């Protein structure tokens, strides 16, 4: 179960909880140099950073982002963040040159960012290095505090429907429209189960034949 958000305090300091697996990333050092920030290191159940007890950030270097697309971690993490009731974002850190020599097509990276932004409705914030990642999170905290005070107007987050989001993900697969997406979800139970299914299992779903099953497996196994 995801932790429930609390409302941000409207006074300094800004409290940042960092996952202990982030100790060597350089972001912690940058945060500790900021006079208005108090940092606590602990094991977090969701995301890499919790800012003001309110906003969650999953930080990924470009290298880790590419690797998480290939091994499927990215969308599992995105699913959990998207179900969090407070503000959440993916913090993507690094330069394009970091991926030189790696077999990852630009289209694959763009496709992942489109999925995160439009399907999971998770903002993808870009930074060049750990210091900028730290500044972005603290700037976000200040913006959220201003919003809480009423200085920033907005309609708020749209309500989320997990099933609709799952169906949209499945409809991005080749040969899968709304009806087949419903059948896939009913037969296999989750997006992850569809990703793990082999061709024979996919063909047990009404309307999915050998050709469509092979096309789905080809897309899911593509590594760039």
In a domain, 7, yes or no: no
Of 155, 91, 160, which is closest to residue 129 (Cα–Cα)? 91
Residue 178 and residue 129 share a domain: no
Domain that holds residue 114: 14-149
Q: How confident is the model at residue 2 (pLDDT cuts 50, 70, 90)?
A: low
pLDDT at 218 over 50: yes
Residue 85 and residue 60 share a domain: yes
Residue 140 and residue 57 share a domain: yes
User: Which of 89, 123, 149 is the last residue before a domain boundary?
Assistant: 149
Residue 145 and residue 167 share a domain: no
Whole-angstrom Cα distance, residue 177 to residue 174?
9
Residue 114 and residue 40 share a domain: yes
Q: 159 — phi, psi (to 5°)? A: -60, 145
Residue 109 and residue 31 share a domain: yes
Residue 140 and residue 169 share a domain: no
Residue 104 and residue 189 share a domain: no
pLDDT at 107 over 60: yes
Task: Domain count for the chain, please give it.
Answer: 2
In a domain, 103, yes or no: yes
Q: Write the burial class of residue 183 (CB in 10 Å: 0-12 exposed, 13-18 middle, 19+ buried).
A: middle
- Say what percent of the chain tops pLDDT 70: 86
Of 205, 200, 203, which is closest to residue 179 (Cα–Cα)? 205
Residue 43 and residue 92 share a domain: yes
The residue that leads in pLDDT, 70 or 91, is 91
Chain centroid, CA 123 distance in Å: 8
Residue 145 and residue 187 share a domain: no
pLDDT given for residue 224 in this prediction: 42
Residue 31 and residue 65 share a domain: yes
Whole-angstrom Cα distance, residue 115 to residue 76?
12
In a domain, 3, yes or no: no
Q: How confident is the model at residue 154 (pLDDT cuts 50, 70, 90)?
A: very low
User: Which of 115, 149, 183 is the last residue before a domain boundary?
Assistant: 149
In a domain, 2, yes or no: no
Residue 216: give its domain's CATH number: 1.10.150.20
pLDDT given for residue 12 in this prediction: 58
User: Which of 149, 171, 195 is the last residue before a domain boundary?
Assistant: 149
In a domain, 5, yes or no: no
Whole-angstrom Cα distance, residue 220 to residue 211?
14
Residue 89: give its domain's CATH number: 3.40.50.10130
Residue 19 and residue 87 share a domain: yes
């Amino acid at each position: 179960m995801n932790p429930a958000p609390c409302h941000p305090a409207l006074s300094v300091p800004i409290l940042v909880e960092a996952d202990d697996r982030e100790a060597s990333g350089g972001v912690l050092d940058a945060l500790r140099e900021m006079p208005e920030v108090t940092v606590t290191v602990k094991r977090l159940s969701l995301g890499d950073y919790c800012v003001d007890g309110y906003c969650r950030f999953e930080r990924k270097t470009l290298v880790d982002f590419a690797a998480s697309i290939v091994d499927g971690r990215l969308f599992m993490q995105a699913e959990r963040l998207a179900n969090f009731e407070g503000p959440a974002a993916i913090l993507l850190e690094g330069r394009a040159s970091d991926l030189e020599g790696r077999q990852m097509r630009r289209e694959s990276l763009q496709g992942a960012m489109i999925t995160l932004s439009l399907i999971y409705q998770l903002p993808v914030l870009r930074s060049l290095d750990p210091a900028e990642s730290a500044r972005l999170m603290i700037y976000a905290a200040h913006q959220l505090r201003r919003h809480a005070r009423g200085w920033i107007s907005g309609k708020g987050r749209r309500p989320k429907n997990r099933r609709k989001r799952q169906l949209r993900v499945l409809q991005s697969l080749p040969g899968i429209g709304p009806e087949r997406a419903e059948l896939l979800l009913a037969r296999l139970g989750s997006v992850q189960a569809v990703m793990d299914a082999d061709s024979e299992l996919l063909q047990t779903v009404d309307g999915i034949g050998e050709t469509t099953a092979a096309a789905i497996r080809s897309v899911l196994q593509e590594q760039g």
